[in-house]
Structure 1
C-alpha cells in the first residue's frame, strides 16, 4: 500500500489547487464543519454552533495518522427557523439548505474525492443533513454526516455536573466547551458572569410555560424547540459549566471523532443502487482494512 502524503496544512482554504489535487490523489478524505448562526441565550455568541464544529473538526483531523483529512471551510449558516424570534439568528430555508449541502458535496466528489463527511454542530441541521445524505448516497455520492458530540457521547455525558444529563442548547456542554476554547480570560469570564444564576431548565422548550407533561419526548415524536421572544433561549444547566469540565469534554469528543474519521475511511461502504446481486456497488476504503 502507498504511504499517504500529508500536506503542509489540513485546511482546504490555505492550500493551492495543485496541493489539493495531490491530497486527493493520495487518498485524502474531506470533512466539512457545518453549524448555525443563531441565538444562544444571554451568555454565548450566535456563532457558537459554527465555532464548536469548526474547532472540534480541526482538532480531530490533526489526530488522524492513517490518511490526510482535509478540513473544508465551515458552512456557518444552517436550518434555524425555530430561533428567528431572537435577534442575531440567520437561517436558511430548508430548500436552500438542502441545495447548498448538495452543491458542496457534488463539487468535491466530482473533483475526485472519494469520501466526504459533514460534521454537524447544530441539532436543527440533523434531519435535513440525514435526508440529504440519504439522497446523495443512493445517487452514488460517498457522503456521510456525523454530529461532532455523538461518537463520544456515552463517555462525556457522565462528566456533566448539572441537572440535564445530556446535550441541550446553550447548555452545560456547549458552555463548558466555549469556556475551554475561549480566546482569552476576559471572554471566559464574560461567559461565566452572564451564565451565573441561570436556573436549570430540563423541560424541552417546545412545551408552553407551566404545562407539566411532555408527550412529544415521551412518544419519541418530533417538534422543533421553538425559542420565542419570551423564552430565555437555553435548554440545560449552563450555570454549572466550568473550564475544567470543558477541557475534559473536549478531549473525549475530539478523540472519539478522530477515531470515527479513521474507521470510516477504512470501511467498505455500499453506494448507489445496484440491482445485480453479483455486482454490488461498493465504495472502496481510502486506507487499508483493519487487521
Structure 2
C-alpha cells in the first residue's frame, strides 16, 4: 500500500510491521533527465516491490531532497546537510513505527545519501523503537552496477522504462557529448574533486545512449528481486540488540 494514495482508514487495516521509505534527491541529471530522477527511481522500486512481495508492506511518501551539494553549480539542484537529512529520515521512521510499521527498509536512489543512511539506520536500530536498513537500488543489479555513473546508462535506462515521458530523447546525444567517463579526478586512490562541475561539462557521467528501455526493464526486475529477498530477511530477523559481553 502506498500511503500517499491511501486514506488513514485504509492504512489502519493493514496488518504488517514492514515499511519501505524511498529516499533520493532533487538534483541535476544532465540536459535529458529530470531533477527528480533519484527519488522517482527509488519510489518506482519501492512500489514494484510492494506489489511483488508475498505479504503486506506499506510504502511511505518519498524523501525528495538529499545530500546533493556536489551538484550545486547546476540550476535546480536542492540539498540539505547530512545532519538534517539523517534527522529527517530518523523522525520519519519514528512516525512509521508509531503506527506499528517498525521494520523499515530505506530504499535509496542517490549515491550521496549512502554514508548518511548507513549511519542513521544504525542509530535507529540501536536507540529507537524500530529496525532500519538502507538499500540502494543500483548496487543490487548484478553486473550492471559497474556502469553506474550519473544520468548515464543505468539511470537513463531505468527512466525510459518507468517514466519514459520525462526523458528528453532529443537531448540524449547532447548529454553524451558533454559527459565525463568517470566520477571525479583520481590521484593515488584519492578523489581530488568535490563538486561534479569540476569534471563533467553538463552533469552527466557515462554514456546515456547505452541506456535502453529494455535494459531499464531488466534493472527494475533485478532491483525488485533483491529488495523482495531483503524484505523477507527483515521480516524474519531477530532484531533484539545483543547483551553486553
TM more than 0.5: yes
Offset from partner CA, 1:211-251 (integer Å, 9 cap, x none)? xx533xx3xx6777512287320111212221122222222
CA positional deviation for 1:166: 2.6
Aligned length: 241
Q: TM-score with structure 2 length normalisation?
A: 0.88
User: Which of 55, 67, 89 is the matching residue for 1:101?
Assistant: 89
Distance, in Å, in 2 between the alignment partners of 1:178 and 1:149 is: 13
Equivalence for 1:147: 136
Equivalent-residue separation in structure 1 for 2:193 and 2:78 (angstroms): 17
Deviations 1:108-139 (A, max 9, x none): 22332231111011000111111111111110
Contact 1:179 1:243 survives alignment (8 Å): yes
Name the counterpart of 1:180: 161
Please state if 1:121 is matched with 2:109.
Answer: yes
More helix by share: 2
Q: 1:57 aligns with which of 46, 68, 86?
A: 46
Kept in 2: contact 1:155–1:252 (CA 8 A): no
User: Residues of 1 paired with 2:90 and 2:193: CA distance?
Assistant: 23
Partners of 2:115 and 2:91 in 1: CA distance = 18
- Indicate conservation of the 8 Å contact 2:117/2:134, yes or no: yes
Cα separation, partners in 2 of 1:168 and 1:270, compared to 1, 3 Å: farther
Q: Runs ≥4 in structure 1, deviation > 3 angstroms?
A: 221-225
Identify the range of structure 1 (120-129 vs 228-237) with the bigger mean alpha-carbon deviation.
228-237
Structure 2: stretches of 5+ with no match in the other structure: none
User: Are 2:199 and 1:237 equivalent residues in the alignment?
Assistant: no
Instruction: Provide the residue aligned with 2:187 in structure 1.
Output: 214
Distance 1:105 1:168 in 2: 29
Consecutive unaligned residues in structure 1, runs of 5 or more: 1-9, 158-164, 208-212, 278-291
Q: What is the CA-CA distance between 1:269 and the residue it aligns to?
A: 2.9
SS, match of residue 66 in structure 2: coil
Task: State the distance in 1 between where 2:205 and 2:197 align.
Answer: 13
- 1:77, CA displacement in angstroms? 0.8
Output aligned runs, 1:217-228, within 5 Å: 218=189, 226-228=195-197
Contact 1:82 1:224 in 2 (8 A): no
Q: Deviations over 1:1-40 (max 9, x none)?
A: xxxxxxxxx11123333332332xx233111100100001
Q: Work out which of the two has the higher radius of gyration on C-alpha atoms and give 1 or 2.
A: 1
